[in-house]
Structure 1
């Protein structure tokens, strides 16, 4: 059913004003607090000019809210904006790839939220944001999208779903919620306690503007000569840092939930700043399992879903499953959420020829660094030696970690040295492949291969120095995709 054109919630105005204030707080302090009452002519001109700018921006915010209207008509979102120069935009609901919801502290206070429909387009056209709307309106928009997509599926297969079928489709299965042990493990693995150091440094610099800390440093140095005071101070700092890390991790991951229904995957997280991400299973283009050096030592992994559409704010990591899962749990969860995907534990290692070529391949970075050392200070020659050892150590580690596998509809790559990345995708989700051979690779009978998947930006994955026979099989495998191609 078509609806009347609507505006965003009126609280969009103070929401945008808050962002304006946050983005210009430095200039406000400099112009109107630190230089209040200044008699300098240039400072007065700057204050007047900035005040005019603020008035213009506030007026623009009010006008933008008033002229921005949206309407869903015949399965399409219609958006109009602009007062003098009108802008019109239409987005078919079936083009929506992912749904992201975020509820900041501001939203929570006024029982509001923000909702974003992510499409497969790039740039500003890739998302349809509703930054300040009521919880009820967000649920209505999500339901409208779901109903629209369900009606399209019904039209394609000419089947009318019963109420029992619809209930089974929308019934959620919760796959993971973190325990207290998981949160504690995440706080140490993420090194979030180290974030206290720059905060203390900033606090020190701020206090130094008002208090002469340099005179206090002499007194502090005398006090710290006592060993037991130093021990207490270090212990207190460690306790405060660990507590800070645990609290900050709990705020971010304490309310984490990974769930799925028959058609979608849902990720929800955040205590103060809540965010949620929903993606249709059919839109998942690939799965990537990454391990940093610390996570490898602790047997943990992070699973990322690569989708056809944009995934919103990169800082939120909305398309990342809980980033501190055990490796086996990560593999198992992929198979639970995406039954069509199966991570193979056993993969083909690189050949001895690959090891030889990696030892013989020149490092242009090392050559340039060595040339610079020789030019500026030959006495630092040992840095060149250390750099050479480091480069070859990383090459050996990458050789030992690299794996590949081609099995049925799936291709699987694993690469990395200190940290590793395991990539898994289906043939029908690959839009292009790359097979390259350098002159040195031709001598050793090797090649480099890679896949390109739909994403924003386009996702490239490659592995170097696989046998040329495997590269040929990989090319033949890709040519067979026309038998199982899926259009989206």
Structure 2
């Protein structure tokens, strides 16, 4: 039986109306609140014109919802929209690589959610968003996608039978859920308590509009002359900041789960605003482990999955595993959820020749800054010296952390100064490489190598000043990819 065409949930209309109101609140206040009853002709014209604009936008929102229809037929999503100028979109389900699901507080109130199918292509077929649909419909769409992916080699089998047959094999293995200790550690490592500063500043400015706080500052100065009042104030501020940091971290990371089944990796996070990201294991192009200075001190790391498709809203970090994993757990989890990947701890350091070239390589930024200081105020010459020391310090740190390794079909690069990044990928996932040698590198027998992986945007990873012999081995390693390349 052919599936009927469906629309998004009607709640999308008031949701879009709310966005329209939020986006135009400034003009509404200026035109209709501050200038209410104005007799100026130009103001009346602006008010009428803006009302016409709002009426047109409201009508457009209603028509957009009414004309937007979708249907899944023969393993393909068909979408039609538009009233006068109709548009058609067809995306085969087997092209869907990532599934991104987000449930905001607004969605929760009405038992709704949003679902986005991400493909590895660009343009109109890059993603298929279902902004407001029921929880039941989202689960149906996800099951349909999973069934199509798992049955692509046997398209004649009924979808219902496939779903039933796959139930036992689709059980999830939970790899990580944060403990209270993990949340506390994350709140301090992320410095989330510092977010209280702009909140207090905004609160101060808001109160200053209603209360004359400048007169109150005089009383505060007198109160601060007492040491015990100062102690209580500082203690209270620290407690508030820490509590704020813990609560904000819990809201973001408290309900966190990393799980996987035979085919996909699932990441769920968020207490109020819940986000679920699902990616096919075979579509993972590379893995990146990053550590800031503080995370290195605490033995923590962040693991990011680089995939062929888009990963939704970048601000949500949907493709990042829990960003405060212990380094040991991070390495172990990669091999747990991606058995095809192997991470080697022992890697080759850069040579002494690499250290020499980094100390000799001129810094254009330092030269331009020094020239500017000499031109405007020579008395600030010490800033040039401080900048030079900082540049060389960062170069030394990057030299010490830089590593490289060819391990069978895998390649690993590590680099960074204040923040280090360990990049791991398979030869079959690399779509292009580049080997470069500057004149200075030729003198020291060094080269720079780069890998390019499919992602949105395309992911480039470069390590500088490796031995020329290794660059030759790297090139030969890539040329041998035809023996093991996978067609995606």
TM-score range, shorter chain: over 0.9
* 1:116 corresponds to: 116
* Contact in 2 for aligned 1:410/1:425 (Cα 8 Å): yes
CA-CA distance at 1:199 after TM superposition: 1.1
Question: What do you get for the CA RMSD once the two structures are aligned?
Answer: 1.8
* 2:91 corresponds to: 91
* 1:357 corresponds to: 357
* Contact in 1 for aligned 2:147/2:163 (Cα 8 Å): no
Residue deviations 1:124-181 (CA, integer Å, cap 9, x gap): 431100000001100110111111111114469xxxx999972443011000000000
* 2:269 corresponds to: 269
1:410 aligns with 2:410: yes
Residue deviations 1:30-70 (CA, integer Å, cap 9, x gap): 44445545555555444443333322222111110000000
TM superposition score normalised by structure 2: 0.96
Cα distance in structure 2, aligned partners of 1:222 and 1:38: 48
* Contact in 1 for aligned 2:406/2:474 (Cα 8 Å): yes
Moved over 6 A (4+): 161-165
* Contact in 2 for aligned 1:187/1:245 (Cα 8 Å): yes
* 1:126 corresponds to: 126
1:81 aligns with 2:88: no
Cα distance in structure 2, aligned partners of 1:25 and 1:191: 33
1:180 aligns with 2:176: no
* Contact in 2 for aligned 1:301/1:326 (Cα 8 Å): yes
* Contact in 2 for aligned 1:122/1:310 (Cα 8 Å): no
* 1:24 corresponds to: 24
* 1:239 corresponds to: 239
* 1:150 corresponds to: 150
Gaps of 5+ in 2: none
* Contact in 2 for aligned 1:2/1:74 (Cα 8 Å): no
CA-CA distance at 1:118 after TM superposition: 0.2
CA-CA distance at 1:391 after TM superposition: 0.2
Instruction: State the SS of the aligned residue for 1:321.
Output: coil
Aligned pairs, how many? 484
Q: How does 1:1-400 map to 2 (within 5 A)?
A: 2-38=2-38, 42-154=42-154, 166-400=166-400
Cα distance in structure 2, aligned partners of 1:327 and 1:395: 24
Counterparts in 2 of 1:67 and 1:398: CA distance versus 1, 3 Å:
same
Gaps of 5+ in 1: none
CA-CA distance at 1:19 after TM superposition: 2.0
Cα distance in structure 2, aligned partners of 1:248 and 1:79: 39
CA-CA distance at 1:215 after TM superposition: 2.4
1:430 aligns with 2:433: no
Cα distance in structure 2, aligned partners of 1:77 and 1:110: 26
Counterparts in 2 of 1:443 and 1:155: CA distance versus 1, 3 Å:
farther
Q: Which moved more, 1:34-43 or 1:53-62?
A: 34-43
* Contact in 1 for aligned 2:178/2:256 (Cα 8 Å): yes
Instruction: State the SS of the aligned residue for 2:345.
Output: coil
Instruction: State the SS of the aligned residue for 1:425.
Output: strand
Instruction: State the SS of the aligned residue for 1:450.
Output: strand
Instruction: State the SS of the aligned residue for 1:328.
Output: helix
* 1:449 corresponds to: 449
CA-CA distance at 1:292 after TM superposition: 1.2
CA-CA distance at 1:212 after TM superposition: 2.3
Counterparts in 2 of 1:45 and 1:298: CA distance versus 1, 3 Å:
farther
* Contact in 2 for aligned 1:169/1:263 (Cα 8 Å): no
* Contact in 2 for aligned 1:77/1:90 (Cα 8 Å): yes
Q: Which moved more, 1:236-245 or 1:225-234?
A: 225-234
Cα distance in structure 2, aligned partners of 1:418 and 1:287: 20
Cα distance in structure 2, aligned partners of 1:66 and 1:351: 65
* 1:440 corresponds to: 440
Instruction: State the SS of the aligned residue for 1:271.
Output: coil
Cα distance in structure 2, aligned partners of 1:35 and 1:222: 44
CA-CA distance at 1:281 after TM superposition: 0.3
Instruction: State the SS of the aligned residue for 1:312.
Output: coil
